[in-house]
Structure 1
Amino acid sequence: MSPLKSITLYHLMINNQKMIGIKFAPDKLIQSLIKGLPNPKWSKQYNMAYIPNTKGNLGVVFNTFKGNVWINYNRFLTNRPNSSSNEIVDIEWFRKRKPIPDYRLCPEEYLLKLELKRYANSTVRTYVHFFEMFINHYSKKDLNTIDEMDIRAFLQLLIQKKVSNSYLNQVINSIKFYYEVVLGMPNRFYEIERPRKESKLPTVISKVEVLQIIEKANNIKHKCIIELLYGSGLRRSELLNLKPTDIDSNRMLVRVKNGKGRKDRYTLLSKTALEDLRTYFKEWKPRTYLFEGQKGGKYTPQSVLKIVKDAAIKAKIAQTVTPHVLRHSFATHLLESGTDLRQIQVLLGHGSSKTTEIYTHVATNTFKLIKNPLD
């Protein structure tokens, strides 16, 4: 039985016009069918045939090849859902910025799409920053004429500056968002190479060191912040979004609303933290958020980082301690005490068990059963 003939559809931009690219292995039947398409042409650059990208033409492609050739739409269509977040997306301040001479601001359609898709504000800031950096590198070039080679050249410059893999991936995401989401050409730059994912072990400190850090906190407010980061395994952003009503003292749980991945979950509340929270609440009387600045409103991420770092320095901890180190330590200590990995995954709000499994590489009970050959 002969293998099934197939074509793969791509998004192309040729002479500033959207095109449907059609890639295929040499085949007389496919070549004959392509000749019957509306105004087919051949691109030496992309090594594929193409026709104008219209809804009508997409239907023509389907009707022409159905029953004869399998059509691969994976590079052409996307099923990615919009965000379901209820967070208010703050785009206006980007729009109200004063024009800077010889500096290209992010196109309005880019901002509008971020707004309509309800991307998190942190993602909006990141995407706008990196995309403006990219379009100003090619300030003399029309955006729609930029191709894969231009993107690769720009990424190569960043690699030469020794930026991190995470940084590079965020740049790629911001660029792809414009060409694939804003312009409605999903997977157009599918072939752009991404850096290999780094496999770094989480930094963990001992329970004794955590208690020493808590002891060195400046005041009851700072103490409660550190206790919740560690005792509930919270991300910094989750801590900052907490409201007094999220502390469930009856069930000894903390409710995390709209965590990473737009997920709600419950996590543990320690008795020690609850006692200190009651003292803190009477003294500081927070209104909207559990932790607020001196003038009210949400506490800043920078303040939380400083609280943790300063307390760790006072406690003379050798390692650099951040809010996420406390979260890593929470998960690792639970695993070491015999808590099931699936339960830890739920408490941390991980979408995949693979993310949680990283803690098996740093938990001491993983190694205790192994006899050292020197002994």
Structure 2
Amino acid sequence: MNEHATTNETITITKGSAELLHIYIPYNPAYIERIRRIKGRRWESKPKVWIIPYTTAAIQEFMNQFDPVDVQIAPELWVESEELQHWKTSKGSDAWSKESLQKALTLRGYSRKTIKAYCNQVERFLSSLALKDTDVTSSKVQTYCLGLLEQGISHSSVNQTISAIRFYCKHVLHHPTDIQYIRPKKQIKLPKVMSEKEVAQLLKSVTNLKHKTILFLTYSSGLRVGEVVRLQCSDLDIERQTLIVRQGKGQKDRRTLLSNLAWEIVQEYITEYRPNRWLFPGQSSDRHLTERSVQKVFEEARQRACIVKKVSIHALRHSFATHLLENGTDLRYIQELLGHTSARTTQRYTHVSMKNIQRIQSPLDRLDLGE
């Protein structure tokens, strides 16, 4: 019989601290013999736990001694240990049908980005379970998500993980849909916005014409990075002076602004680069530029412009909306330009707009503090 043969008992490995891992092992002479082979291990009788160093060498020795089928990895450890992730998934990749999940998502019109995210989240969740106990239950989902929150994963990411697991259970496993999961309360985060002066600094810092055109259009039209890289030459509606965003978030088409200045730069760019289908082709003309490339362009421009705010290219979209609001544009029009389904999403910009805040006098300024 193989030394690593599966038993009916599950080993759990968790993160004890930045330097130590805790291993909970049901009493089994074979398991005890294996854990004793790991250098630096020790037994703590009070909590009844084996402790090993949190080092690559100790993790490798642990993986050599045990079978992933017998091991459950705590969520907070799963998130940060690539070695354990690879060990678990390489041995258990057949435990679920990634292809079935991809097909179910595609048939229901989910975007490529969401399909990739859902598949990764479901794979991480299932791989964190002991392979011999892969039934999905509410308690397992709650325990896993609690571990993610304790690791500092954002509430929105954990909520998406829950949505991915629910979808998998309903449309792939065909489980009853009455399983209820407690979701973490959605965090209210204000959009990160640049001032008009900062946007001007950023745009003036760019000399490469292609990069300049990308950033001008992103701000001028309030685009997401995934939308700007997928623009086609036919999406420019010159007569109406608008830009057509096809299959944006939520698989919706919309029209947004195309400013005079942005159009002048686009014309100059088209004359020099002569794009065919994609307005911003990648290294191969039949494929568009990658989102990562554009994010890098923005980051380099931010550094050249000496903008200290830690913002991503998405801040240009937030700034577009906030600056429109500050200049008197009705929220309903901004909602249409951004492609928001809910007005509540657009209303976030009222919290970062300085238009009304600057009109308010602090009570301190009204005090007579003269001697």
For 2:354, the equivalent position in structure 1 comes to: 364
CA–CA distance in structure 1, aligned partners of residues 176 and 356 of structure 2: 44
* Residue aligned with 1:155, SS: helix
Q: Which amino acid aligns with 1:264?
A: D
Contact conserved, 2:229 with 2:291, CA < 8 A, in 1? yes
Matches of 2:239 and 2:260, distance apart in 1: 11
Residue in 1 that maps onto 2:291: 301
Contact 2:205–2:305 at 8 Å: present in 1 too? Answer: yes
Pairwise CA distance, 1:343:
0.7
SS of aligned partner of 1:224: helix
2:244 match: secondary structure: strand
Segments of structure 2 that go 5 or more residues without pairing to the other structure are 1-88, 366-371
One-letter code of the match for 1:151?
V
Displacement of 1:160? 2.6
For residues 310-329 of structure 1, the aligned pairs below 5 Å read 310-329=300-319
What does residue 175 of structure 1 align with? Answer: 165
Amino acid at match of 1:119: Y
2:247 alignment partner, SS class = coil
Task: Indicate which of 100, 113, 128 corresponds to 2:119.
Answer: 128
The answer to whether the 8 Å contact 2:92/2:131 transfers is: no
Equivalent position of 1:287 in the other structure: 276
Q: Are residues 1:245 and 2:234 paired? A: yes
User: What is the 5 A alignment of 1:142-153?
Assistant: 143=134, 145-153=135-143
**In structure 1, distance between residues paired with 2:297 and 2:131:** 46
**C-alpha distance in structure 2 between counterparts of 1:274 and 1:314, whole Å:** 24
Following superposition of structure 1 onto structure 2, how do residues 152-231 of structure 1 map, counting pairs within 5 Å?
A: 152-185=142-175, 187-189=177-179, 191-231=180-220
CA contact (8 A) 2:95 2:131 kept: no
Match of 1:237, SS state, is helix
Say if 1:147 and 1:365 are closer, same or farther in 2 by CA, change over 3 A.
Answer: same
Distance in 2 separating the partners of 1:186 and 1:331: 42
2:205/2:304 contact within 8 Å kept: yes
Contact 1:104–1:139 (CA under 8 A) maintained in structure 2: no
Give the residue type in structure 1 aligned to 2:249.
Answer: K
Cα shift at 1:199? 0.5
Task: Name the SS for the 1:358 alignment partner.
Answer: helix
* Aligned-partner SS, 1:365: coil
Map Cα deviations across residues 283-335 of structure 1 (whole Å, 9 max, x no partner): 11111111111322110000110111111110001112322100010001001
Deviation at 1:146, TM superposition (A): 2.8
- Do 1:179 and 1:188's aligned partners in 2 also have CA atoms closer than 8 Å? no
Q: 2:125, 2:288 → 1: CA distance?
A: 32
Give secondary structure in 1 for the equivalent of 2:356: helix
Match of 1:118 among 109, 119, 125: 109
Q: Does 1:235 align with 2:224?
A: yes
1:335 aligns to 2:333 (yes or no): no
The runs of at least 4 aligned residues of structure 1 exceeding 4 Å deviation read none
C-alpha displacement of 1:185: 4.2
**Aligned amino acid, residue 342 of structure 2:** S
**Backbone CA RMSD of aligned residues:** 1.7
What is the aligned partner in structure 2 of residue 48 from structure 1?
A: none
How far off is 1:237 after superposition? 1.0
SS of residue paired to 1:290? coil
Per-residue deviation, 1:112 = 2.8
Specify which of 259, 273, 298 is matched with residue 270 of structure 1.
Answer: 259
Take 2:123 and 2:161, find their aligned partners in 1: how far apart are those partners? 10
Question: How big is each residue's C-alpha offset from its partner over 1:98-147, in whole Å with a ceiling of 9 and x where there is no partner?
Answer: x933444641432331232232111111111111111112242354x332
1:34 equivalent in structure 2: none
Percent of pairs with identical residues = 40
Is the contact between residue 104 and residue 135 of structure 1 (CA under 8 Å) also seen in structure 2? no
Secondary structure in 2 matching 1:168: helix
TM-score, scaled to structure 2? 0.71
